Amino acid sequence: MASLFLGVGRSLGFKVNYCPRVLVRLFSISKSDTDDQITDDFDDDFIYERIPRTKAEYSRRNSLPIDQPDEPRLNRVSIIGLPNSGKSTLVNQLTGLRITSVSRKVHTTRKNIIGIFNEGSTQIELLDTPGLVKLKHCVDFNLEHTLYNNPRLSAKVADLIAVLVDASQKRYINFLDYETFKLLSKHKDKKSILVLNKVDRTKDKSMLLTAVDNLTGRFIEGESIEGKERKETRKPLAKSIKMLIEETEKRLSQSPVETDLPQSEELREKLPKDLFNLYWPNFSKVFMVSALTGDGVDELKDYMIETAKPCQWKYNEKIVTNQDPQALAISIVREKFLDHGQWDTPYLLKFRIVTWELDEMKNLHIVITALCPKSAKMISIIGPEGGLIARISAEARQELIDTFNCEVRLKVIVKCTERAKDKVFDSERDKTYISKWNQKNADLVHKTRGTHD
Ligand SMILES: Nc1nc2c(ncn2[C@@H]2O[C@H](COP(=O)(O)OP(=O)(O)O)[C@@H](O)[C@H]2O)c(=O)[nH]1
Ligand SMILES: [Mg+2]
């Protein structure tokens, strides 16, 4: 089997590091291999500070009773914002753990992910959400419904809505986007805060003040911002914005998926010419942070703790996330494919855990397959001579080490699921290409450097 694999690898011109023992193990995977090999380190003293390493440990933590502290307090914080504004980075920074995936590409977070941290008798539940997009966007790009529903769902259950804006991008700091405005209108009685993120990338700090003015309309909790030099230029709470909020609420009550700006003739006359001049006058507070470096994040954290309401805790103190370790590992590998892959190719991939073992030395052995439905895309996933997949694997392995706080041996297998007969060939090049990929067991196995058995 190993030689067959190597033959295929060589015929495709890829450099494949291999070790016969690994391949034998790889090709003789049985169902029991996919279960966690339970080495129960559940009683470790460090258990609070890290993410569970096995599904068994994850389930056991979840089944623990919740010990309520004296005078417990809880704050459920929904973190919403446009794709790439840094929501997941912020959740990781606030929890001090690598709970959720971060990537330069959009739509890395596909559904709500919960991160939890406790401070004294206060529990903070952070809801990391997919980027806010219009329904039309989800339909056009055939995205999962969770991308549309989940941010809206999280705002519904939250005590505090934190709107994250990428302050390093001029186009985001001039006005609030309508999807955010709509969500805030729908929950206008809830506490909300504005968080300007990526301040480390903003060289011109006056831009940040302009952003605050533009996004709040110079209003905090509906009141004008007081300030000597600001007073002169302060604009009154525009009637048009009040009307727009009312109109938006009315339309949302009729149809919760309404996505366009209100277009009624009467309203259009009264609204500013530039309908995109939106702001939210009811933010309780504005924060300027760098989720990446941690600048300003402590102030935000303190605010979340201060505004927590007396309420029973929802989770046992040992629980840090609702993500099971295998889902987390998949999201890390996907994130690396997204970071390095071309165009939309990485979005086509489906991931499966083939092996997940925690050995007695507390090393994790993970094998993940990436299933690619299109043979023509394989080359852009693997890269010339397998260079890209090597980089992806190495980076994913490092992230996994940081996440699980232990040594990780990772193998990533890219497998093409397209069958030749399903494909209409349109060129000689395609024919040879596909036939190569459809040879029996034409999986490309990449063994991450440093993982030789
Ligand atoms: N320079 C800088 N980059 C950031 C900051 N926060 C997030 N990023 C980067 O922005 C990109 C998107 O971040 P991510 O957390 O995935 O955004 P999300 O889509 O809103 O969850 C990633 O490349 C992050 O490293 C920040 O404060 N400063
Ligand atoms: Mg995200």
Query: What pLDDT digit, counting tens, does each position of 192-216 carry?
Result: 999 999 999 988 888 899 899 889 9
**Per-residue confidence at 383, pLDDT binned at 50, 70, 90?**
confident
- CA of 437 relative to ligand 2 center, distance in Å: 34
Give the residue-averaged pLDDT of 149-171: 89
Distance between CA 445 and CA 272 in Å, rounded?
A: 59
Residue nearest to atom 9 of ligand 1 (CA): 86
- The per-residue pLDDT of the chain, averaged, comes to 76
CA distance 351 to 353: 7
Domains of the chain: 2-43+324-447 (3.30.300.20), 65-310 (3.40.50.300)
**Mean pLDDT calculated for residue range 174-198:** 90
* The pLDDT of residue 365: 95
91 lines ligand 1 (CB under 6 A): no
**Does residue 86 line the site of ligand 1, with CB under 6 A?**
yes
Reply yes or no on whether the pLDDT at 106 is more than 50: yes
Going by alpha carbons, the residue nearest to atom 16 of ligand 1 is 102
Measured from the CB, is residue 92 less than 6 Å from ligand 1? no
Decide: helix, strand or coil at residue 288.
strand
The 3-state secondary structure of the chain reads CHHHHHHHHHHCCCCCCCCHHHHHHHHCCCHHHHCCECCCCCCCHHHHHCCCCCHHHHHHHHCCCCCCCCCCEEEEEEEEECCCCCHHHHHHHHHCCCCCCCCCCCCCCCCCEEEEEEECCEEEEEEECCCCCCHHHHHHCCCCHHHHHHHHHHHHHCCEEEEEEECCCHHHHCCCCHHHHHHHHHCCCCEEEEEEECHHHCCCCHHHHHHHHHHHCCEECCEECCCHHHHCCCCCCCHHHHHHHHHHHHHHHHCCCCCCCCCCHHHHHHCCCCCCCCCCCCCCEEEECCCCCCCCHHHHHHHHHHCCEECCCCCCCCCCECCCHHHHHHHHHHHHHHHHCCCCHHHHCEEEEEEEEECCCCCEEEEEEEEECCHHHHHHHHCHHHHHHHHHHHHHHHHHHHHHCCCEEEEEEEEECCCHHHCCCCCHHHHHHHHHHCCCCCCEEEECCCCCC
Expressed in angstroms and rounded, the spacing between residue 202 Cα and the centre of ligand 1 is 14
Q: Is 294 in the pocket of ligand 1 (CB under 6 A)?
A: no
Ligand number nearest to the C-alpha of 113 = 2
Interval between CA 93 and ligand 2 midpoint (Å): 13
pLDDT at 94: 96
Question: What's the CA gap between 286 and 244, in Å, rounded?
Answer: 22
- Quick check: 328 and 403 in contact, CB under 8 A? yes
92 Cα nearest atom in ligand 1: 15
Closest C-alpha to ligand 1, atom 8: 86
> Which one is predicted more confidently, 371 or 25?
371
pTM above 0.85, yes or no: no
Whole-number pLDDT of residue 28: 29
- More confidently predicted of 424 and 143: 143
Q: Which atom of ligand 1 is nearest to the CA of 91?
A: 15
Q: Percent of the chain having pLDDT more than 90? A: 32
List Cβ neighbours of 26 (8 Å cut-off, separation of 6 or more). Answer: 354, 367, 411, 413, 445
Asked whether the predicted pLDDT for residue 428 surpasses 50, the reply is no
Residues 66-99 pLDDT 10s: 989 999 999 999 999 998 899 999 999 999 998 8
Q: Going by CA atoms, what residue is nearest to atom 12 of ligand 1? A: 84
- Residue 297 three-state SS: helix
Which has the higher per-residue pLDDT, 444 or 137? 137
Distance (Å) from CA 267 to ligand 2 centroid: 36
Tell me the one-letter amino acid at 198.
K
Pick the residue whose CA is nearest to atom 10 on ligand 1. 86
Q: Is 197 in the pocket of ligand 1 (CB under 6 A)?
A: yes
CB 248 within 8 A of CB 261: no
Predicted confidence band of residue 229 (pLDDT cuts 50, 70, 90): very low
The token duo for 141 is: 């790009």
Regarding the beta carbon of 393 and ligand 1, being less than 6 Å apart is answered no
The CA R_g of the chain, rounded to the nearest whole Å, is 25
Tell me the CA–centroid distance for residue 148 and ligand 1, in Å. Answer: 20
Nearest atom within ligand 1 for CA of residue 82: 20
Query: What pLDDT, on the 0 to 100 scale, is given for residue 340?
Result: 84
452 lines ligand 1 (CB under 6 A): no
Question: How high is the pLDDT of residue 46?
Answer: 45
Ligand 1 contact, 88 CB (< 6 A): yes
> How many whole angstroms from 362 Cα to the centroid of ligand 1?
31
Strand partners, 194: 163, 286
Beta bridge pairs of residue 408: 364
- Ligand 1 atom 6 nearest Cα: 86
Q: Which of these ranges, 268-272, 298-302, 397-401, has the smallest mean pLDDT? A: 268-272
Consecutive H or E run containing 394: helix 387-404
Residue whose CA is at the smallest distance from ligand 1 atom 2: 198
87 C-beta closer than 6 A to ligand 1: yes
Question: Which ligand is located closest to the Cα atom of residue 292?
Answer: 1
Confidence (pLDDT) at 138: 65
* Least confident span in 15-29, 69-83, 406-420: 15-29
Condensed to tens digits (0 to 9), the pLDDT of residues 337-375 reads 888 877 677 788 889 999 999 988 889 999 999 888 877
Q: Is 102 a pocket residue for ligand 1 (Cβ < 6 Å)?
A: yes
The better pLDDT of the pair 112, 184 is held by 184
**pLDDT score of 161 more than 90:** yes
Percent of the chain with pLDDT strictly greater than 70: 69
Evaluate if residue 389 carries a pLDDT over 60: yes
**What phi, psi does 117 have (nearest 5°)?**
-140, 155
Q: How is residue 14 annotated by DSSP?
A: -
Residue 103 Cα: closest atom of ligand 1: 16
